Amino acid sequence: MTPRDRVPLSGSLRPEVWNKLKKHFGTEDTETIRETLGFDFKSAGMGLAEDFRERAISTDWGGVVIPDGDDTYEAEWGMRIAPGQSHRYIRYTYCPLADESNLDPYNFPPLDALGRWEGLEEQVRWLKEEYVVPEGASTFFRNAWDLCGLEN
C-alpha cells in the first residue's frame, strides 16, 4: 500500500521515543522503523550553505559550537541554542533579532549560497516515487521565533 492508496501518515518523535522504538524493534535503523510504522512523508528542502557546513560540527541539533566551554552552539541563522538541563530539550540563549536595533545590520544567510540546493531536484524526483514529499523548511512562525525569540 502506498500513500496514494490512503491518507498518508507522518510522525515527529522525540529522541527518547525513537530510543524506545529502536529497542522495541531491535534495530538502530530509523528508516526501517519509519517503514514499519507506515510513515509516508520524507522531507526534502533547503540545505546548509557549503561554507557553514564546513565549519559545523555534529551536535544533537547541528550547528557551530561556540567556544565558551558548554554545549551552546550557533545555528546558521545566528541563533544560539543550548541543551536543557536533562539534554532532552533545547533552550535559546540568543536570538539575533530580539532587539530590533539588530535588524539593519543583520545579514540573512544567502539563499543562493553554494551547496544550499545541491542534489535537491534529484532527491525529490527519487522520493516522490514512494513518499509524500513536503518541503523541508519550517514555518514562518518558527523562523520568526528563532530569530526574534518567542516573547517577541
Residue 22 pLDDT level (bands cut at 50, 70, 90): very high
Q: For residues 18-31, give the mean pLDDT.
A: 94
Instruction: Name the least confident of 25-29, 87-91, 118-122, 147-151.
Output: 87-91
Whether the CB-CB separation of 33 and 22 falls below 8 Å is answered with yes
Bridge partners of 20, per DSSP, are none
The residue extents of the domains of the chain are 42-148
Bridge partners of 135, per DSSP, are 44
Whether the CB-CB separation of 146 and 63 falls below 8 Å is answered with no
Whether the CB-CB separation of 48 and 115 falls below 8 Å is answered with yes
Residue 149 pLDDT level (bands cut at 50, 70, 90): very high
Q: What pLDDT score does 66 carry?
A: 65
Q: For residues 20-28, give the mean pLDDT.
A: 96
pLDDT tens track for 49-67: 888 888 887 766 556 666 5
Q: What pLDDT score does 82 carry?
A: 84
Answer with the residue of higher pLDDT: 147 or 71: 147
* CB within 8 Å of 36: residues ≥ 6 apart: 25
**Mean pLDDT, rounded, of the chain:** 83
2: pLDDT strictly greater than 60? no
Q: What pLDDT score does 57 carry?
A: 77
Q: What pLDDT score does 141 carry?
A: 82
Nearest-Å Rg of the Cα atoms of the chain is: 18
**Burial group, residue 8, by CB count within 10 angstroms (0-12, 13-18, 19+):** middle
Q: What pLDDT score does 127 carry?
A: 87
Q: What pLDDT score does 4 carry?
A: 63
Query: Please, what is the angle between helix 15-25 and helix 30-37, to 10°?
Result: 80
Residue 43 pLDDT level (bands cut at 50, 70, 90): confident
Degrees, nearest 5: CA angle 28-16-77: 95
Whether the CB-CB separation of 99 and 71 falls below 8 Å is answered with no
